[in-house]
Amino acid sequence: QVQLQESGPGLVKPSQTLSLTCTVSGGSISSGNYYWSWIRQPPGKGLEWIGNINYSGSTEYNPSLESRVTMSGDTSKEQFSLKLSSVTAADTAVYYCARDHLHGSGSSYFDSWGQGILVTVSS
């Protein structure tokens, strides 16, 4: 049973860079069957997909955040990371990492999630 766990600072100052890591246990980020995503949820609001990284290290980002987002992976540690630069209060949210299972039909679905980490942007 794969498990995902987010880690990183819970408080970031405006204009700085938010950095989070997701550690995967019970699975491998280099498996060809999965992509690895970051999703966020502002308090009391809905879900927003930030982007993903695949087994070869290729990334795809939400155009709404693309200019500020960088994702990377470390297969030796079974970790993948998110960096979001120039943060503002609007970036305050619970950040989730999730496994994106590639389905045979060409679709995909988020079948495993971390517990989430609240990141507050405030001075």
Partner 1 sequence: DIQMTQSPSSLSAPVGDRVTITCRASQSISSHLNWFQQKPGKAPKLLVFAASNLQSGVPSSFIGSGSGTEFTLTISSLQPEDFATYYCQQSYSTPFTFGPGTKVDIK
Using the minimum distance from each CB to partner 1, give the nearer residue, 68 or 101.
Answer: 101
Between 73 and 114, CB nearer to partner 1: 114
Q: CB of 123: closest distance to partner 1 in angstroms? A: 26
**How far apart are alpha carbons 10 and 20 in whole angstroms?**
10
* Residues 70, 80: Cα–Cα separation, whole Å: 11
Q: Is the Cβ of residue 77 or residue 103 nearer to partner 1 in the bound state? A: 103
Task: Please check whether residue 37 is in contact with residue 49, taking contact to mean a CB–CB distance below 8 angstroms.
Answer: yes
CB of 66 to partner 1, least distance (A): 9
Residues that bind partner 1 in the complex, under the rule CB under 8 A? 37, 46-49, 60, 62-64, 96, 98, 101, 103, 105-111, 113-116
Q: Are strands 3-7 and 18-25 parallel, antiparallel or unpaired?
A: antiparallel
Q: Residues 63, 14, 118, 25: is their CA dihedral positive or negative?
A: positive
C-beta of 42: minimal distance to partner 1 in Å? 12
